Amino acid sequence: AITKITARQILDSRGIPTVEVDLCTNKGMYRASAPSGTAIGMYEAVELRDGDKGKFLGKGVSKAVKLINEKISETLIGMDPTLQSQIDQAMIDLDKTENKTELGANAILAVSIAACKAGAAEKEEIMILPIGANNFTEAVQMGSETYHHLKSIISEKYGSTGCNVGDDGGFAPNISSFSEGLDLVKEAIDRAGYNGRIKLAMDVAATDLCIGRKYDLDSKAPNKSGQNFKNGEEMIEMFTKLCSGYPIVSIEQPFDKDDWEHSKLFSALGICQVVGDDLLMSNPKRIGRAIQESACNALLLKINQIGTVTEAIEVVKQAKDAHWGVVISHRSGETDNPFLADLAVGLTTGQIKAGAPCRGERVAKYNQLLRIEEELGGQAVYAGENWRLP
């Protein structure tokens, strides 16, 4: 849910004030600002400017900032950030005018974009594993082609705004179920001609769905009827069904971070790789407990959760000694540093997740792997079918 909205006045590229918004949800903070033009058409939405000639030649936006901090924020706090059209409609209703003269299009747009970013960050994530490739170079080609077919499919079905990408480079169309998302990716794999050679994985990030002892699978639905709340057993049933209907080979964080019990029950079924993200927090103690209790069977390694390279290597060893899989993982906030690629090869993890083949900071890791494969030449081994235990 949206927990806080704060606006401020910043400068646009011409040195003229514009509106910037920080929108917070339980997941984090999302920032956006409004652009502005010189030519102003008669029918376009109206920018709210202070008109106080003593400040910024009348171009200040402190009124718009105040409206966001008070009226808009009051209306939107508590709303689900994935419900873009309802958030936008709430602001349009609050404005009540045809051209957005009351609140200002600059105020409304900045909030609207920030909510869009926040909403994209809430979506579950579907990944592909090109394990049928003969080498990494071919795997990148398969991933990239599938990604672009997915873009066309989403554009056809949800319009071009469905192709806006989130932090990890993934698309975030307005889907309402796991199977709706999985169908899209499956169709993209078919169109790219890689049926059978590409498998699927999901990051459920279920800690974010957990309310009490239940999981809210309708976190995007307008009227929360509570109808789509599932308990742990029902979640296990759902994952089992999804794994039989789709070529899913790995599920990350299928339950809450402290729901050891259901993670154990699900892992015991042996249907797919069960990856611990916030269950483990890359923490040796939690990993130790999970190994002991067989609460999952793969480590998601986020190196900044542990803090040094030495300790990162130690937990990878700990996981490997237990015959677990290891996924080297990016964070939603990344830099263009490609180190994770070197780490994945150096530690022979066989698995890395660095996001979609889009956005510089994601692509930096894949490009580094291309270089490493080239440098290793005949000695390079692509994990392929042996991805779990390379």
Show which residues are catalytic.
168, 302
Binding to Zn ion by CB under 5 A, coded x per residue (else -) over 241-280, reads ------------------------------------x---
Beta carbon of residue 180, minimum distance to ligand PGA (angstroms, whole number) = 20
Beta carbon of residue 385, minimum distance to Zn ion (angstroms, whole number) = 24
**Quick one: which segment of 43-51, 61-69, 203-211, 212-220 binds Zn ion (CB under 5 A)?**
203-211
Residue 360 and residue 334: Cα distance in Å, rounded? 10
- Who contacts 216 (Cβ-Cβ below 8 Å, separation ≥6)? 209, 210, 224, 228, 229
332 binds, among ligand PGA, Zn ion, none (CB under 5 to 8 A by kind): ligand PGA
Does residue 297 contact residue 273 with C-beta atoms inside 8 Å?
yes
Relative to beta strand 325-329, strand 199-203 is unpaired
Beta carbon of residue 82, minimum distance to Zn ion (angstroms, whole number) = 17
26 binds, among ligand PGA, Zn ion, none (CB under 5 to 8 A by kind): none
Identify residue 17 by its one-letter amino acid code: P
- Who contacts 316 (Cβ-Cβ below 8 Å, separation ≥6)? 299, 301, 326, 347, 349
Size of the site for ligand PGA (CB under 6 A): 5
> Which CB atom, from 75 or from 207, has the smaller least distance to Zn ion?
207
Does residue 2 contact residue 79 with C-beta atoms inside 8 Å?
yes
Give residue number: closest CB to Zn ion: 277
> Which CB atom, from 175 or from 202, has the smaller least distance to Zn ion?
202
Beta bridge pairs of residue 33: 20
Q: From the list 1, 320, 331, 370, which residue makes contact with ligand PGA (rule: CB under 6 A)?
A: 331
Annotated binding site for Mg(2+): 203, 252, 277
Beta carbon of residue 363, minimum distance to Zn ion (angstroms, whole number) = 20
- Who contacts 19 (Cβ-Cβ below 8 Å, separation ≥6)? 7, 8, 9, 10, 33, 34, 61, 64, 65, 68, 104, 106, 107, 110
Near ligand PGA in 110-149, by CB under 6 A: none
> Which CB atom, from 84 or from 305, has the smaller least distance to Zn ion?
305
Does residue 38 contact residue 59 with C-beta atoms inside 8 Å?
no
> Which CB atom, from 50 or from 277, has the smaller least distance to ligand PGA?
277
Q: From the list 332, 337, 348, 386, which residue makes contact with ligand PGA (rule: CB under 6 A)?
A: 332
Annotated binding site: 203, 252, 277
> Which CB atom, from 201 or from 345, has the smaller least distance to ligand PGA?
201
Near ligand PGA in 245-284, by CB under 6 A: 277
152 binds, among ligand PGA, Zn ion, none (CB under 5 to 8 A by kind): none
- Who contacts 374 (Cβ-Cβ below 8 Å, separation ≥6)? none
95 binds, among Zn ion, ligand PGA, none (CB under 5 to 8 A by kind): none
> Which CB atom, from 206 or from 236, has the smaller least distance to Zn ion?
206
Q: Which two tokens stand for residue 111?
A: 């909030």
Beta carbon of residue 106, minimum distance to ligand PGA (angstroms, whole number) = 29
Relative to beta strand 17-25, strand 2-11 is antiparallel
Q: From the list 47, 50, 80, 203, which residue makes contact with ligand PGA (rule: CB under 6 A)?
A: 203
> Which CB atom, from 197 or from 330, has the smaller least distance to ligand PGA?
330
Beta carbon of residue 329, minimum distance to ligand PGA (angstroms, whole number) = 6
Does residue 305 contact residue 291 with C-beta atoms inside 8 Å?
no
**Quick one: which segment of 66-74, 216-224, 238-246, 327-335 binds ligand PGA (CB under 6 A)?**
327-335
- Who contacts 203 (Cβ-Cβ below 8 Å, separation ≥6)? 124, 125, 127, 252, 253, 275, 277, 353
Q: Binding residues for Zn ion, per CB under 5 A?
A: 203, 277
Binding region for ligand PGA (CB under 6 A): 203, 277, 329, 331-332
